Structure 1
Amino acid sequence: MVAGYGASPESRRRNELRFGALAFLLGLTVFAVDTFTDIESAIAVLYVLVLMLAANALPRAGIVRVGAGCAVLAVLSFLLSHWHDMDVQSALRCGVSLAAILITTALLVRDHLSRALLVRANGALARSEKRYRSMFEQARFSLWEQDFSGVKDALDALRAAGVTDLAAHAQANPGWARGMASLIVTTNVNDATLELLGAADRAEVLGPLERFLPAEDPAMLDALLAIHEGRDRFEGRARLIAADGRVLTVLLGISLPDDGIGFDQVVVGVVDITQRERTQEALLAAQAELARAARAATLGALSASIAHELNQPLGAIVLNAQACLRWLRRDPPDIDTASKAVERMVRDSKRAGEIVQRTRGMLVKDANCDEIIDLPQLVEEAAQLLERELSAGGATLATDFADGVPPVRASRVGLQQVLINLIANGLHAMAETGAEKGAEKGAEMGAGTAQRELTVSVDSPDPAQVRVSVRDRGTGIAEEHRARLFDPFFTTRPDGMGMGLAICRSTVESCGGTLTARNHEEGGAVFEFTIPAAAPPPSPVPSPVPSPTAAPLPAAQED
């Protein structure tokens, strides 16, 4: 270490005195040899050694003063030695010595400045590292330092091999993303991480990350995509397995190097939202139960209202039927009076039908089917509303939109509710048939994702219609249930009311469409509805411009 940088004050002072004394003695020796000896050489060049010794003990101003002093001594020695016999050679030797002294002084001053800047930069870096370590340790949220260099090398190797679509590569190679997790090594964590994972010490957490990740977590693939695409940050929701086996839901924030290097020290921030998710789930469950109770209460009130309103026309129909029978059984039958009774029966039957139709309109909220709707966009909106249910069920939603699908004229709220009901029914169908067990068993075989996939496709079989299909991967529709599938109050779920599909069909039919269900040849059920495409606005017909030479029609032809 250079004297004056990084040493204690006492040690620095001793070094300054030692180097200063050596420089002074060496300067006197050079002056004496150069002045009082007959050596025909540039002895004054040795003042460079004096400057180098002084540079270890003096600041920049001191170096400049020593350099000036050495130059003065060199000139003085030249004058004392060659005052009477001064020649060109001796003058040149003196000039060379002065040039060496000046150049050395300039270089030492520049070097001193560079060393000072370097020391200040190292000090700032050390202080920054100390602040970072302090924040890292004292943060009340989980922080991880991880080595991603193995992952970066593996991704670079894939890129060199011609792999550009990482998602397709992961789908074609089940377990690949899980294997990449074993290349991520945790090098340091803070105390909040130990508390989060329930670990006793850091040694229990450090090492490969794979043991803390569930087998099927899409966050790993998303993080790999972020690295592969060269992004400088990744944020997302993931799951972790704590040391005691608890499954935690967390928010991840990963700061990625934007220059392609530094992947050996990546900082990962983790925020535990498990309790918040549980609270949200409890709230949603309570809301669902409340909505179910409200529907049941509404249905009870509606049933009472229907019974009250239908009681009068049905009673009148019965009385008129009995009267008709009496008039027909007379001898001879009174056909005219019986006919009037039948007419009254028809009238009362129409009244009952109007009551039922009005009630049906209440069930579908009198959908106003005059909105122009882009069905692919509506499917995307419904998928966003069901994102939580899809995540909770471990399912994925795939969409297949044909090109050039025309818009439809319908009720946006009504069709959105139809889509939500059909997708939710598909999720329940896969859950009730043990799709999750099948997915866990098939994860080793790469079949888990396909068993939990819902597919929503939108196409136009002809220009006048748009078709929407929702396919699940459950066991399909039982043959004995197919005929009653859309009947009100029919359900195969113990907690269902059996009104969802009935209302869906009423909503679709109120907009001029049809809703059907069938089993897919590869397994699962397909619910499909068609809606008439919105008719394009009529093109304005240009008014005929009469010809200036055209004669008016005769009066007889105007008619």
Structure 2
Amino acid sequence: MSRFSPLAAILIAVVIFALDTLTTFDMAIAVLYVTVVLLSLSFATRKGLLFIGAICIGLTLLSFAVSHGENPTSDSTARCFVSLAAIGITTLLAYRVKTAIAVLGESEQRYRTIFLATGVAILEMDFTAVKAAIERLKADGFTDLRTAAEVNPDFARAAIGMMRLTNVNNTTLTTFKAKDLDAFKTALPALIGKEMEGSVWALLEAIWDSNASFESETMMNDLDGNRISILYNVAMPHDRPSLDMVLVSIVDVTARHEAENELHQAHAELAHVTRVATLGELTVSIAHEVNQPLAAIVTNGGAGLRWLKRSEPDLGEVETSMQRMIADAGRASEVIKRLRALSSKATSQTIPVNLNEVIRETVVLVQRELTNQRIDLQLELAADFPSISGDPIQLQQVIINLILNAVQAMSDPAIRTRKLLVQTAIAGGVAVTKVRDTGTGFAAETAASLFDAFYTTKSNGMGMGLSICRSIVVAHGGRIIASSEPGKGAIFEFTIPLQEEVVS
């Protein structure tokens, strides 16, 4: 159509000029030039519109001069001014419309450029059918989506089929290994796996509540069958209540997750090395704890043999000796079991843990160090202490590190009073564990650096113990802090959330 518009405008202008010049109609024929100006909107630039308007004004004046130049009347002059005013106003309005169209076109072009070239996958979708289905559920008397889900558990999968894809950008095609929009549109329902339905239910709940946006992290497939981790955001503007245009932005976080897994693995390896190094520091205590039950086994075994060798063997005493041997063997076995657990590279496991029991088991391993340094240990463990969710080996590593740090802080011969207090308590829904010593303490300005990797105040320290303690505690959802007055000892305190009770 725009190809013929210039020719049509010229023909109309010629006809109007001829009518205005050659006829004697008592009317403002030149007003019809506004149709030429309006028709020019479809093909002329903004400067072109002004030029065309000026030509129409010129033709109007020329026609007036030819028709009424020698004897103009007041009526003809008035009609000429009306025509000129109409042409001028129309030209200015057309110029403003053309300017608005140009601004809108530039804005749309910028949007399309950003949409197509951005590094984030963006999908334009139409959720009209989903919104209508949810409104029908509300009309049927359902007060929330969970109730509706109990009646129709397949609604989420049905809703996926209702989501109509209208456009995607280049990053989307690259992310999902799609050849073009049609290929991606056809494959999209199959790319949303069964495990993503939980996230879809959460999205539907956001639509139910008329939220403006929704964000979630989940797994999807690409067209090659590979699993990818994604973080996606759904923008549902309130000015489009029917949700006929919804923008879904997707970020592929697979590489980030792989990096996090590698970092976690490296951290686990470092924690294992540190545990083994800690066991090296506890060699004397370990040898003592294993040697005691072994020596008792030998003693009780010898006693049992002597009772058997009597002229009249005392089987009751023999039985007592054997029971003591079994008990001592059990003690040695428990010590070895704890050592194997600390030195193993087993995968972290989260189970209900009683911190009081972990502390008691830890004290057995460090008892020799406490005795050698003449340290008075006091345990103030809360009664009826509830369980927490955690890895008992990792938590034992934290407690061992804190106790050994306290022992080393009190190793200075100048320290006369050597007391170590380990406390547990419940406060504000968390389990609190405190390790307080009467050692040298530390300056306030160093408190912020204590938990940094490779920071140490010891000449032979690696600076990893407290850093690993913090990582373990944070991984358990808790926090660890330290406080001190130089010369008056230090307090290390960590908190772990209590295990949530299962409501039956």
User: For this structure pair, what is the TM-score category when the shorter chain's length is used for normalisation?
Assistant: 0.5 to 0.7
**Native 8 Å contact 2:234 2:248 kept in 1:** yes
Residue 219 of structure 1 aligns with which residue? 199
Pairing partner for 1:122 from 81, 96, 101: 101
Distance 2:141 2:92 in 1: 50
Distance 1:101 1:228, change over 3 A: farther
Distance 1:383 1:315 in 2: 38
Establish whether residue 260 from structure 1 lines up as the match of residue 240 from structure 2: yes
Residue 188 of structure 1 aligns with which residue? 167
**Native 8 Å contact 1:186 1:205 kept in 2:** no
Establish whether residue 137 from structure 1 lines up as the match of residue 130 from structure 2: no
Q: CA RMSD in A?
A: 4.9
Q: Deviations over 1:195-229 (max 9, x none)?
A: 32233443321147431112132322233333333
**Native 8 Å contact 1:44 1:74 kept in 2:** no
Q: How does 1:4-153 map to 2 (within 5 A)?
A: 12=6, 17-30=10-23, 33=24, 43-48=25-30, 51-52=33-34, 55=37, 59-61=52-54, 105-153=84-132
- Secondary structure class of the residue paired with 1:120: helix
Establish whether residue 157 from structure 1 lines up as the match of residue 150 from structure 2: no
Distance 2:221 2:28 in 1: 72
Q: Deviations over 1:461-503 (max 9, x none)?
A: xxxxxxxxx58xxxxxxxxxxxxxxxxxxxxxxxxxxxxxxxx
Distance 1:224 1:383 in 2: 36
**Native 8 Å contact 1:184 1:208 kept in 2:** no
**Native 8 Å contact 2:430 2:495 kept in 1:** no
**Native 8 Å contact 1:199 1:205 kept in 2:** yes
Residue 484 of structure 1 aligns with which residue? none
**Native 8 Å contact 1:184 1:209 kept in 2:** no
Report the alpha carbon displacement of residue 247 of structure 1 after superposing the two structures with TM: 1.7
Range moving further from structure 2, 54-63 or 215-224: 54-63
Matched AA of 2:271: A
Matched AA of 2:26: A
**Native 8 Å contact 2:56 2:87 kept in 1:** yes
Distance 2:36 2:263 in 1: 78
Establish whether residue 413 from structure 1 lines up as the match of residue 494 from structure 2: yes
Report the alpha carbon displacement of residue 374 of structure 1 after superposing the two structures with TM: 0.7
Distance 1:71 1:163, change over 3 A: farther
- Secondary structure class of the residue paired with 1:235: strand
**Native 8 Å contact 1:232 1:257 kept in 2:** yes
Q: Structure 1 length normalisation: TM-score?
A: 0.48
Matched AA of 1:375: G
Distance 1:383 1:212 in 2: 38
Distance 1:126 1:258 in 2: 24
Establish whether residue 271 from structure 1 lines up as the match of residue 251 from structure 2: yes
Q: How does 1:358-377 map to 2 (within 5 A)?
A: 359=367, 364=399, 368-369=422-423, 373-375=427-429
Report the alpha carbon displacement of residue 375 of structure 1 after superposing the two structures with TM: 0.3
**Native 8 Å contact 2:282 2:366 kept in 1:** no
Residue 283 of structure 1 aligns with which residue? 263
**Native 8 Å contact 2:34 2:87 kept in 1:** yes
Residue 184 of structure 2 aligns with which residue? 205
Matched AA of 2:111: Y
Residue 469 of structure 2 aligns with which residue? none
Name the larger-Rg structure. Answer: 1
Distance 1:293 1:109, change over 3 A: same
Q: Structure 2 length normalisation: TM-score?
A: 0.52
Distance 1:79 1:246 in 2: 85
Matched AA of 2:214: F
Q: Would you say how many aligned residue pairs link Structure 1 and Structure 2? A: 335
Report the alpha carbon displacement of residue 240 of structure 1 after superposing the two structures with TM: 0.8
**Native 8 Å contact 1:24 1:50 kept in 2:** no
Report the alpha carbon displacement of residue 17 of structure 1 after superposing the two structures with TM: 4.9
Matched AA of 2:155: W
- Secondary structure class of the residue paired with 1:238: strand
Q: Percent identity?
A: 27
